[in-house]
Amino acid sequence: MGKQKTPPTSVEVLPNGTKIEFWDSVDAEGNDQQRRYMVNGERFANVTTILDVLSKEALLDWAANLAHEGKNWRAVRAEAGERGTLNHHLLLRLLTGEGGSLADLPEQWRKHGQAGFKFVHRRKPKVRECERMVAHCGHRYAGRLDLLAEIDEKLPLVDFKTVTKWSYVKKDGAETEEKYPPFAENLLQLDLYQGARIECGLQPAECGLIVRLGPDAEVEETWVDLDPDRGFKIVETYRARSEARKVLADAAKGQYTKERLDQEIEEQCQAVGV
């Protein structure tokens, strides 16, 4: 008997009838597995995977700087991912009334948790949706947004980001107290969620809110307008790059087939009169 398929971590049917199945990176038994989305039975690209097309160059510079410091960039990135996930889950438990404590976090990440608690107590968001899965069948992508909530009489899509360290704008060679804004992919992530919400028949958000949680327990809020078409352009870029990589991979595989090698040998033999 063949191996049984692992059941999805969660399944959701959206207002337009779209069925989304999601497999997290760890299954119910604690085993590692591939994180993926299936939409109406088809594999769709993850929003965060699509946005990787924007971060490659910055990632190379970042990895080079870490290597200069004697650090492994993969280990640092994995740690940052775990930090973000744990703080994310703690905040969502707090927002949904399940409760949570900073003691649930490793000590080195509790300042980020304090920033999150500060945001919740200051803004008192009224949760409409939490961890809602969405998909766009036309552009073939899926994802899971953090939060849709009423805040200050607005209805924003909220995305939480933990920050390893703040970066400050420099003027005339000197560092100012002005922080650099969030990365472009943070905004485009919300654009793509908004586009998927509209296509799925869900209520559109009025705007976006990127909430950055710092290592000094400070919180930075960035309110943004949402434009799904802006996000769709990134999907097109992702598709084009994926297709280019496929073509190159196919070409590389076919470069040294037996027929090609036989042909090259025959041509060389003819050239030397053999």
Q: Which residue has the higher pLDDT, 78 or 140?
A: 140
Q: In this structure, what token pair is assigned to residue 93?
A: 């438990």
What digits encode the pLDDT tens for the residues 46-97?
A: 999 999 877 555 555 555 565 667 767 566 566 777 888 888 889 988 898 8
- Centre a 10 Å sphere on the Cβ of residue 271 and count the other Cβ atoms it contains: 8
pLDDT at residue number 66: 53
Mean pLDDT score of the chain: 85
Q: Is the pLDDT score of 238 beyond 50? A: yes
**Half-sphere exposure in the Cβ direction for 104 (13 Å, CA):** 14
- Model confidence, pTM: 0.82
Q: What are the Cα distances from residue 101, in Å, to 87, 106, 108, 117, 120?
A: 11, 11, 14, 10, 13
**Average pLDDT score over residue span 102-117:** 92
pLDDT at residue number 83: 84
pLDDT at residue number 2: 44
Nearest to 123 by CA among 211, 183, 186, 189: 211
